[in-house]
Amino acid sequence: MAATFSDLHTADGLKALEAHLAGKAYVSGDAISKDDVKVFAAVPSKPGAEFPNAARWYETVSTALASRFPGKAVGVNLPGAGLASAAAAPAAEAAKEEDDDDLDLFGDETEEDKKAADERAAAKASTKKKESGKSSVLMDVKPWDDETDMKKLEEAVRSVQMEGLTWGASKLVPVGYGIKKMTVMLTIVDDLVSVDSLIEDHLTVEPINEYVQSCDIVAFNKI
């Protein structure tokens, strides 16, 4: 709904509705729609003679709703509302159900409804993409033995490149018997890189496994 109305139980609220309906039969479009139901449900009774446009629209919507929702309203007491009070409760309930279940009371959605739905979906997708998290990982890369060329080991590890993976600083750490392991930092985008897949499918397969015997995750922290 392009226009927004509030305080429709007051004269100021009805003035805004009166101005909006000037030259229009309905709140939006050329036929009764969900927008009319929502606004109708917020108007407690038929507007007075000082609001001719709103009164005409109210009578039109009231008649249409009465035919769609026959029966007496329960728990609604609006003196002087007549037919409108009988239709207001089911109209309000119908509007609520439409919000909860996307129920279309009057046929196909208008182009404006579809456009608004597409914009909401695009906004959600954009927000989700922006919120994609990152993680900082500390990894131990172990060679086969003390004869492994650790410089080539590091070059082989860093040769693995993929979207969402950034290699950081590294250092050699003695583990005994002349053997050293390489401890390396890396940053990953969680939605793009799996650490398990990185190790199993890239770091411990040919030709890198000529230098790398195994890899262990020392620390894994969300950024």
Give the pLDDT confidence of 118-167 residue by residue, as tens digits.
Answer: 887 877 766 555 557 999 999 999 999 999 999 999 999 999 999 999 99
Residue ranges, comma separated, of all CATH 3.30.70.60 domains in the chain are 134-222
CA-wise closest residue to 218 among 133, 134, 141: 141
Of the candidates 163, 157, 170, the one whose C-alpha atom is nearest the C-alpha of residue 204 is 157
Q: What is the DSSP string of 136-160?
A: EEEEEEEESSTTS-HHHHHHHHHT-
- Average the pLDDT over 198-208 and give the result: 94
User: Which amino acid is residue 176, in one-letter code?
Assistant: G
CB atoms under 10 Å from CB of 184, counted, come to: 20
pLDDT band for position 103 (cuts 50, 70, 90): very low
Measuring CA to CA, which residue among 84, 96, 91 is closest to residue 60?
84
Separation of alpha carbons 160 and 203, rounded Å: 8
What CATH class is the domain 134-222? alpha beta
Query: Which pLDDT value is given to residue 95?
Result: 47
Q: For 75-84, 176-185, 190-199, 209-218, which range has the lowest pLDDT when averaged over its residues?
A: 75-84
**How confident is the prediction for the chain on average, in pLDDT?**
80
190 pLDDT tier (thresholds 50, 70, 90): very high
pLDDT reported for residue 188 = 96
Residues above pLDDT 90, as percent of the chain: 47
pLDDT, residue 128, reads: 56
Using pLDDT thresholds of 50, 70 and 90, give the confidence band for residue 2: low
- How far apart CA 68 and CA 108 sit, in angstroms, is 16
What band does 117 get if pLDDT is binned at 50, 70 and 90?
A: confident
Asked if residues 148 and 209 have their Cβ atoms less than 8 Å apart, the reply is no
Question: What's the CA gap between 53 and 61, in Å, rounded?
Answer: 12
Confidence check: pLDDT of 205 > 50: yes
Q: What is the pLDDT of residue 169?
A: 95
What are the φ and ψ backbone dihedral angles of 34, each rounded to 5 degrees? Answer: -60, -30
What 3-state class would DSSP assign to 32? coil
Question: What is the distance between the alpha carbons of residues 131 and 153, in angstroms, rounded to a whole number?
Answer: 35
* 201-205 own/partner pairs: CB under 8 Å, 24+ apart: 202/160, 202/162, 203/141, 203/157, 203/160
Residue 216 scores a pLDDT above 60: yes
pLDDT given for residue 109 in this prediction: 55
